[in-house]
Amino acid sequence: MIEIRNVSKSYAKGRVKAVDDLTLTVRPGEIFGFLGPNGAGKTTTIKMIVGLLKPDRGTVVVEGFDAQKDPLRAKAVTTFVPDTPAVYERLTGLEYLNFIGDVYGVPKKDRLARIEKGLEIFELASAVGSPIQSYSHGMKQKIVLIAALLPAPRVMVLDEPMVGLDARSAHHMKTLMRAHCEGGGTLFFSTHIMEVAEKVCDRMAIIHKGRLVAEGTMAELRSLNGTKESLEHIFLELTET
Partner 1 sequence: MSPLLSLVRTALRVNFGLSLFRPREILRKKRDLWMIPLFVLGAASLGPILYFYVKIIQVLHGWLVPAGQQAVLLTAAVLLGQLLVLIFGFYYVISAFYFSRDLEILIPLPLTPVQVMLSKFSVILTNEYLTVALLVLPVFISYGVLEGAGVGYWLSAALVYLFLPVIPLAVVGLLVVGLMRVANLSRKKDALIIVGSLVLMTAALGGQVWFSRSAGSSSPDPEAIARSLAAPDGLVRSLGAKFPPSVWATRTMAGGPGGAGWGNAALFFGASVLLFAGLVLAAERLFYRGLLGLGETSARRKTLGREALTGRLSSGSHPVRAVFSRELRLMNRTPIFLLNGVLSVVLIPVIFVLMAKTGGGRSDATQILAAVGSKNPVAAVLASALFMAFSGCLNGTASSTFSREGGQFWISKVIPVRPRDQAKGKLLHSYAVALLGIAAASVVILLTFRPKAAVLLAALAVGAVTSFFLTTVGMMIDLVRPLLNWTNPQKAIKQNFNVLLAVLADLAFFILMFFLVKILGKGLLSGNSLVVAVFILLATLSVAGYRALLAFADRRYPHIEP
Site for partner 1 in 32-51 (CB under 8 A): 50-51
Q: How many residues bind partner 1 (CB under 8 A)?
A: 47
Least Å distance, CB 133 to partner 1, is 5
**Residue 68: CB atoms within 10 Å:** 15
Give all strands of the β-sheet with 211-216 in edge-to-edge order: 78-81, 155-159, 186-190, 31-35, 203-208, 211-216
Does 133 help bind partner 1 (rule: CB under 8 A)? yes
14 lies in the binding site for partner 1 (CB under 8 A) = no
Nearest to 47 by CA among 86, 20, 15, 82: 82
Which residues between 67 and 96 bind partner 1 (CB under 8 A)? 68, 71-73, 75-76, 78-80, 82, 86-88, 90-91, 94-95
- The DSSP bridge partners found for residue 211 are 208
To partner 1, the closest distance from the beta carbon of 218 in angstroms equals 30
* From candidates 10, 25, 59, 130, binder to partner 1 by CB under 8 A: 130
What's the CA gap between 12 and 128, in Å, rounded?
A: 42
Q: What is the smallest separation between the CB atom of 53 and partner 1, expressed in angstroms?
A: 6
- Shortest approach of partner 1 to residue 198 CB, angstroms? 29
Nearer to partner 1, 30 or 99 (CB): 99
Contacts (CB under 8 A) with partner 1, residues 137-166: none
Give yes or no for residue 184 binding partner 1 (CB under 8 A): no
Long-range contacts of 119-122 (CB under 8 A, 24+ apart): 119/146, 121/169, 121/172, 121/176, 122/146, 122/169, 122/172
Residue 183 touching partner 1 (CB under 8 A): no
Q: Rule CB under 8 A: is residue 58 a binding residue for partner 1? A: no
> Contact residues for partner 1 (CB under 8 A)?
13, 50-54, 68, 71-73, 75-76, 78-80, 82, 86-88, 90-91, 94-95, 98-108, 111-112, 115-116, 125-131, 133-134
